[in-house]
Amino acid sequence: MLDSILLQFMIIGLLGVGSQWLSWRFRLPAIVLMSIAGLLAGPVFGFINPEQDFGEMYQPIISIAVAIILFEGSLNLDIKEIRGLGRPVIRIVTIGALISWILGSFAAHMVAGLSMAVSFVIGAIFIVTGPTVILPLLRQSKLKPRPAKILKWEGVIVDPFGALLAVFAFEIILFLSKEVEGIALVYFLLASAFAVLLGWLFGKGIGTMFEKGSIPEFLKSPVVFSAVIACFTIADEVTHETGLLAVTAMGMTLANMGIASIQDMRHFKENISMLLISTIFIMLTASLTTDTLLHVFNIEIIGYVLLMLFVVRPLSIFVSTINTDLTMKERILVGWIAPRGIVALTVASYFASILLEEGFNDASIVTSLTFALVFFTVCAHGFSIGWLARKLDLSSEGQPGVLIVGSNTFSVELAKIFQELDIPTLLTDSSWGKLSKVRRDGLPFHHGEILSEQTEYRLDMTPYDYLISVTEYDSYNALVCTTFVPAFGRKDVFRLGIESKTGDHVEQMTRSIGGRKLFAEEISLENLISKIDAGYVFRKTSITEQYDYDSYLQDREEHTILLFVVKASKRIDFIVEGHSIKPERGDTIVSLTPPSKEFNKMKAKIQKHRNL
């Protein structure tokens, strides 16, 4: 085992972020890779044991990290987002959670062999799914908006309630078996109400200070994170586990105040949350013991996990969503997806220790039982969510799509060629008049301001991996690209330059503003529109073993403009300044070709037909 704490932190960070990268690179569930990496570094090879080596600092580190992750998740819970989904979400987080608690508790008692007292405590813990596992799966699977929103809301809302329900069940057990005074239950309920009020006050206070400009921009993120830690700590010191409820209330309060500063910081907080999820999951799995892992393979534990997967979860969702507008396909998907994560592991570990202290000896297998449920659900749901979503037609995964901002002659023809290549395409413009040709040609379109807050709720951007802004205003194109860089990634956001003698020009601005400029330096929007008007046509050329890229370059017309390459992997390589392309066999080159060559080809075909 490594003696250096600093070296252990380095390994934890590398394993966590490395797992995330491998997940992205090979399209594998990140949580599964992190679990495997933590197990290999911890109980298998014994390089690290964070719980043992970090000592008293281990639990506070985990708790604060979970609080920040849960706050970041609740910061996305804008009430406007669940218009039309309010009833199913409320049913799932209330009736569904209650059914899951009761059925899970009886399953733990009858199958896993736990006493009723311990069963009802861990049954409460296991109703949680949580943003630490749900959000990475949603990013990976590209679900359609309805099921994705339901799973996200359930994960964030039920997370703190699962911990609180476990505390409540524990207090009930002590009240019934240890003759503890009933005032303890009243105190717990009052502490929970205090946590909600505290979270609301923190959220309202921070939001009001932001709106009034009382906090400078460079201090906003530090102030928010300090407030989250303070809110969590105060509530948790009053009653253990109520801190999670407090930070959830704080995040939801801020999310529904509509503060621009919170929107600006959201992606920064998502990055922090991603880093924390990566490191904390490694720490938790690396801290497990060999005995815990061996207990996972007990027949009772495996039987309990199978019951939770195939009976308890589906039944709780199907019963709780009766008489809602969820389709059968949506109910099947939501009824299957329920991975457990960091909160389940940390809370179960806490209660395992205090239940043992209170004389419940069967609680010794709680940690093994929890890890078995976490690992098997993460693996089962991580590997199956994409496949099941595609089978149920609830996935937007497939050919990467293109979102085009700005309707004009060139962008309409570009959208047509994307359609011919079976590339999902949406053309959006705030002018109904400019969309007339789009409507006549039957192309998918969205009428509205792309930068409007309402667009986030009305427009499903899940199918689109690329954004191209091609309006006649350079500064607007730059603003659109800058706004959507966090969502699409800087390398997949593009804009077309305009002639500097017309409109405005942003070429002298810093490179951090705007997207990547398409095509060659001399190619502008006006230039492309004029070529379309002059009869230029889009041409698709397949690269084969016999006809390679060099042959294409030799044969192409002199004034041909290369636009993009559709790779055999379905990814699109756009032609941008300073980036060379290397089309290979199976790729398709799309270019804007002078009409003369097309006319000659047509004439040759006609002549050939006449000679037959």
Q: How far apart, in whole angstroms, are the C-alpha atoms of residue 373 and residue 546?
A: 54
Are 62 and 132 spatial neighbours (Cβ–Cβ below 8 Å)?
no
| pLDDT of amino acid 341 | 75
- Average pLDDT of span 542-570: 85
Model pTM score: 0.69
* Amino acid 197: pLDDT: 95
What average pLDDT is seen over the chain? 82
Query: Are 61 and 307 within 8 A, CB to CB?
Result: no
Span 288-302, average pLDDT? 86
The proportion of the chain whose per-residue pLDDT surpasses 90, expressed as a percent, equals 20
Confidence band for 202, pLDDT divided at 50, 70 and 90: very high
- Residue 178's pLDDT band, with cuts at 50, 70 and 90, is low
- CA neighbours closer than 13 Å in the CB half-sphere of residue 95: 15
Distances (CA, A) of 484 to 126, 325, 450, 465, 490: 37, 32, 10, 11, 8
Tens digits of per-residue pLDDT, 30-89? 777 888 899 899 888 888 888 888 888 888 888 888 788 778 777 766 676 666 667 888
Per residue in 377-405, pLDDT (tens digit) is: 888 888 888 889 889 988 876 678 899 99
Greatest pairwise CA separation for the chain in angstroms? 103
Q: Provide the sign of the torsion angle of the four alpha carbons 76, 272, 375, 64, taken in this order.
A: negative
Domains along the sequence of the chain with CATH: 57-391 (1.20.1530.20), 401-611 (3.40.50.720)
- Whole-number Å distance between alpha carbons of 369 and 296: 6
Identify the three-state secondary structure at position 461. coil
From start to end of 351-439, where are the E strands? 401-405, 425-429
Residue 164's pLDDT is 74
Per-residue pLDDT of 411-462, as tens digits, reads: 999 999 999 988 889 999 988 888 998 899 889 998 888 887 666 656 777 7
- Number of CB atoms found within 10 A of residue 86's CB: 12
Strands 588-593, 561-566: pairing kind: antiparallel
Q: What is the predicted pLDDT for the residue at 111?
A: 92
3-state secondary structure of 103: helix
Q: Report the pLDDT averaged over residues 260-279.
A: 70
Chain centroid to Cα 371, Å, comes to 23
pLDDT of 99:
94
